[in-house]
Amino acid sequence: MGSSSRVVEAIRRRPSSLPDRHGYFGEYGGRFISESLMEALYQLESEFRKAWSDPAYHREMNEVYRDFVGRATPLYFAEALTRKLGGARIYLKREDLNHTGAHKINNTVGQALLALRMKKKRLIAETGAGQHGVATATVAARYGFECDVYMGSEDVRRQSLNVFRMNLLGTTVKSVDSGTKTLKDAISEAMRDWSHSVLSTHYVLGTAFGPHPFPLIVRSFQSVIGRETRKQILRKEGRLPDALVACVGGGSNAMGLFYPFLSDLGCKLYGVEAGGRSLRPGDHAARFQTGKVGVLQGSKTYLLQDKDGQIEQTHSVSAGLDYSAVGPELAYYHDSGRISFSSVNDEEAMEAFEMLCKTEGILPALESSHAIAWAIRHAREFGPDRILVINLSGRGDKDVMEVARLRGIPLT
C-alpha cells in the first residue's frame, strides 16, 4: 500500500513526468536495442520534443486531424445499451468513425509529420492484422513517402484484403517467413531494415510499445482521444466520468484515452486484455493475468513466456490484441494499481459484438468488443447516476467474415 500510494501521489503531482529521460516508467520501458539504432532513437526523441513544443506543428496536426481524419470523433450516449444493461450511463468514444476505421491513424499522422520534419523519404512499419499497415500506407500516400510494410507470411495469408488495400495505396508489403510468421517477427524485420536505412527512413511503430521514445510519442499522439473525451463529457454531463474502459493490445488506445485522466483519482481506469479460448499457455494474450516481467523488442515489460524464457504463442479472436507483450507504461500503472486489468474471452467478445450491432446499430471491431464485454459484465455494479466511457477503438467491417466463419454462417 505504501509504495502504491506514493506512486498515486506522484501521478497527482505531475502526470507528465514519465517516462524519465532514459525512457523508464518506474522499472519498465527503456531502450534495449542494438547500437546501430541508438542514433536514430536519439534523433527521433529530440525531433519529437522539438515538434511537440512547437505551436506550428500542433496547428498543422490539428488541421489534418479535422479535414483528413475526421476529428473530433463524437462522444456518443449509448442510450439503448444503457437501458438494456440497467446500470451506468454508457458513452462510446467513436474512434471507429476515423478515416481508415480505427484510432491507428492518430499516430500515423503524427509520425508522418515528424518524418517530414526529419526530411525522411521513406516510411516502414510492422503490421499484424493490417490495420496499422493500412493507416501507415494511407499517410505515406498522402505525403508522398515510399513505404514498405512488414507482415508475417501467416498474416499475409489471413488478411489478404488488407494487403490489397496497402497495395492500392502504393505500399509494398514484405512478407516475413521467420519464426512464427506473425507480428513479433514482422517487428524484428522492420527493426533490422531500419538499422540499415536510418538516414532515409522513419520507422512508424504502431502502438505504445518498443524502445524509448516510441511509448512516449505514440501515447502523446493518441492522447487526443482522452483530451476530446474530457471536454465532451464536461459539456454533456457537467462532470468527469466515474470510469473509463479500453481494450489493450500494445496499449495505444487505452493510454490515449486514460492519459489525460491519470490524476483524476475519482475516475477509475479499466484495461481489458484478450482472454482467448482459455488462460492456458498459447490460448490467450492476457499478459497481466499470467505474464512475467522480461525484455522483448526493446522494452522491459510484462510478457507471456515459458519457464525457459521462450516467448509463448498467443491467441485471440481479435488480431489486434494478439501479441505476447504489453506497453511499459501500462505495466507501471498495473503495478501501482492506478489501472485495473482483467480479461474477456473470445465468446464474450463475440456476444458483445452482436449485442452492440443489434442494440445501437454499430458494428464494433472485435478488439473494441472486448471493452464492450467488460461493460456488459460490470455495468450493473455502477448505479444509474454513474458515467462509464468505453473507447470504441475501431469499426467491425473488417471482422464480419471472421464472425461469419466462427458462427458457421456460409457467405457468398
Using CB under 6 A, list all residues that contact ligand PLP.
102, 104, 131, 207, 247-254, 320-321, 365, 367-368, 393-394
* Dist CA 231 CA 227 (whole Å): 7
Residue 102 CB, nearest approach to ligand PLP (Å) = 4
H runs (alpha helix) in 259-302: 287-290
* Dist CA 379 CA 186 (whole Å): 38
Catalytic residue among 104, 181, 184, 300: 104
Choice between 136 and 368, CB closer to ligand PLP: 368
Query: Does the annotation mark 393 as catalytic?
Result: yes
Strands 28-29 and 268-276: unpaired
Q: List all residues 6 or more positions away from 339 whose beta carbon is below 8 Å from its beta carbon.
A: 254, 258, 269, 270, 271, 330, 333
Residue 323 CB, nearest approach to ligand PLP (Å) = 8
Choice between 176 and 246, CB closer to ligand PLP: 246
Residue 187 CB, nearest approach to ligand PLP (Å) = 13
Choice between 198 and 255, CB closer to ligand PLP: 255
| Residue 254 and residue 248 in contact, taking contact as beta carbons nearer than 8 Å | yes
Query: Does the annotation mark 174 as catalytic?
Result: no
Query: Does the annotation mark 126 as catalytic?
Result: yes
Q: Hey, how many other C-beta atoms are within 10 angstroms of the C-beta on 66?
A: 11
Query: Nearest to ligand PLP by Cβ — which residue?
Result: 394
Closest CA to 245 of 88, 39, 139, 27: 88
Single-letter amino acid code for the residue at 244 = L
Catalytic residue among 95, 126, 189, 360: 126
Residue 337 CB, nearest approach to ligand PLP (Å) = 20
Instruction: Identify the residue whose cell numbers are 511509448.
Output: 215
H runs (alpha helix) in 103-182: 104-117, 131-143, 153-158, 160-168
Choice between 251 and 328, CB closer to ligand PLP: 251
Residue 393 CB, nearest approach to ligand PLP (Å) = 3
Closest CA to 95 of 362, 357, 325, 323: 362
Choice between 26 and 249, CB closer to ligand PLP: 249
Cite the active site residues: 104, 126, 393
